Amino acid sequence: MARFNRILLKLSGESLMGEKQYGIDEKRLAEYAAQIKEISEMGVQIGIVIGGGNIFRGLSGASKGFDRVKGDQMGMLATVINSLALSSALTAIGVKTRVLTAIRMEPIGEFYTKWKAIEAMQNGEVAIFSAGTGNPYFTTDTGSSLRAIEIEADVMLKGTRVDGIYTADPEKDPTATKFDEITYDEIYNKGLKVMDLTATTMCKENGMKIYVFNMDKVGNLKKLMDGENIGTLVTDK
């Protein structure tokens, strides 16, 4: 029996680069697809949001002279490219998927509605939500929080390169220690960079638990769903 029945899995676009400096690493994509298939076969209903940082990030574009709104729109399109890549990788190993976009762009994907998403997941399809919220100035973390709340997910799983939330960046500070559990307020008060404030606040206000874990370690997603104590759980208590 899986720990959660319906999840929203947030994947980092940058993680899709794998060993490359840019774009999509086919090996990493295949690893992600295989891990998602494992939990799909457990009967878990899965919604996914992928970032676009491996292709284009609106905020860094703005610092190079791009108009912020156009930059963010380019970032949204980057998430669509990643979503199609993941959909293709999942389909290749026998997993049914449905790509839903926050901006109308049929036939690339269907225009997102909550009910289409829930219907797809209940039918055993992996629903992939792309193009963020469809609005500039919102990160894909905020898009993930929004979709998790809308589809009434039990939890939002944030797959990252590190195995949870630490007192400081473990890649820079060797003395950093990991939290097993933490509250939203502690994240604010300690100034921890888990997600942007908008995303964290949306989860807090709507009681959406966040689970931060290392998705790049193959097998971790299934371990988490089996109830193993990996990563960090963010709750109200």
Q: What is the pLDDT of residues 112-146, one digit of tens each?
A: 999 999 999 999 999 999 999 999 999 999 999 99
In angstroms, the Cα distances linking 173 to 115, 169, 176, 178 are 44, 6, 6, 12
| pLDDT score for 61 | 72
Residue 75 located in a structural domain: yes
Prediction pTM value: 0.95
Residue 149 located in a structural domain: yes
| pLDDT score for 158 | 97
CATH of the domain at 45: 3.40.1160.10
Q: What is the pLDDT of residues 196-217, one digit of tens each?
A: 999 999 999 999 999 999 999 9
| pLDDT score for 124 | 97
Which two structure tokens, joined as six digits, stand for 229? 């104590």
Give phi and psi for 121, each to the nearest 5: -65, -40
| pLDDT score for 58 | 76
| pLDDT score for 237 | 75
Mean pLDDT of 36-58: 95
Number of domains in the chain: 1
| pLDDT score for 20 | 92
What residue numbers bound the domain in which 230 lies?
6-235
- Provide the mean pLDDT of the chain: 94
Give phi and psi for 20, each to the nearest 5: -85, 170
| pLDDT score for 2 | 82
Residue 1 located in a structural domain: no
Neighbours of 10 (CB within 10 A): 28
